[in-house]
Amino acid sequence: MAEHPDDERAESVTGLEPITDETVLDRCRAGTDAVLAEHDPRETFGWDKRDAKARFGDVTDEVSALQQRLYAEGERALLMVLQGIDAGGKGGTIRSVMNQLNPAGVSVHGFGVPSEEERAHDFLWRIHAHTPELGKIAVFDRSHYEDVLVVRVKQLVPESVWRGRFAHIRNFEALLDDEGTTVVKFFLNVSSEEQRERLQDRIDDPEERWKFRAGDLDDRALWDEYQAAFQDAIRETTTDAAPWYVVPGDRKWVRNLVVALALRHHLRLIGPEYPPAEEDIEHIVVT
Ligand code: ADP
């Protein structure tokens, strides 16, 4: 068992039944009464690290096959929203999960501090421009949720404004769903201690240092305010059409598998099909 650190052992060690994928997703799916403190960032669902990594490969193979159909069909789309604190693993999730997909059918867009032009429009203007075209998967690295998170915590607009945005977000996401785009949202739930270690690693490692901004420490000092803002945003905007998943984020291999399982689940629900081929081509021989 030398290669299995204690905290990474399978549930079989404790004699419990292996947990099903559906149960894992049910436990991560947030309700309108979600309590973030009840979601353990170090959760492993009894998975073994090596098995989980192997399963990640199998699950992403299926995700990739479903993506190919989605692309070929060209009638539905999927928008994956990633939110989390600094060093929460948004970039790592994108690298691991999207790496397995056909790049022609995927777009990734990061949303930073709005430009002057963006600020001169409503908060959804810049977001809508990057939603996926039919047939594609788009990933948002931060999103319209910043407008009810950082904007709230840093008091950039009055409460009446950010609070009103919850309804606008629900309506916006319902619109996307009605028009063929499934919206799936992930909160990468990382513990305060894990964030501390990751930020310290960024400072200590010359190849990671470019990612560190002094502002990350200002945001870390507002930990409780951010957690409260995330919790409200999740409660206010989790819907059947656009669910939130609270993903255990401290262990990257758990995080990656949960995100891949959720992606597979929603792509299966979409159920894309290859378009019919032209008639009478089976007998054609290309010379
Ligand atoms: P990341 O931290 O995701 O790697 P950046 O270093 O570019 O990327 O940080 C993006 C910053 O932009 C974050 O601090 C985030 O809070 C901020 N930001 C994003 N959207 C908004 C917004 N609508 N209003 C104000 N700040 C925003």
pLDDT one-digit tens code per residue, 83-133: 999 999 999 999 999 998 999 999 999 999 999 999 999 999 999 999 999
Length of the chain, in residues: 287
CA of 111 to the centre of ligand 1 (A): 6
Q: Is the pLDDT of residue 7 over 50?
A: no
* b (16+ CB within 10 A) / e for 134-160: ebbbbbbbbbbbbbbbbbbbeeebeee
Is 60 exceeded by the pLDDT of residue 15?
A: no
Cβ-based neighbours of 212, under 8 Å, separated by 6 or more? 199, 202, 203
- Using the atom order of ligand 1, give the atom closest to the CA of residue 91: 4
Tell me the CATH number for domain 21-272: 3.40.50.300
Ligand 1 binding pocket includes 125 (Cβ within 6 Å):
no
Between the CA atoms of 21, 62, 99 and 111, what dihedral angle is there, to the nearest 10 degrees?
-60
Protein residue closest via CA to atom 2 of ligand 1: 86
Q: Is the pTM of this model over 0.85?
A: yes
Q: What is the pLDDT of residue 264?
A: 98
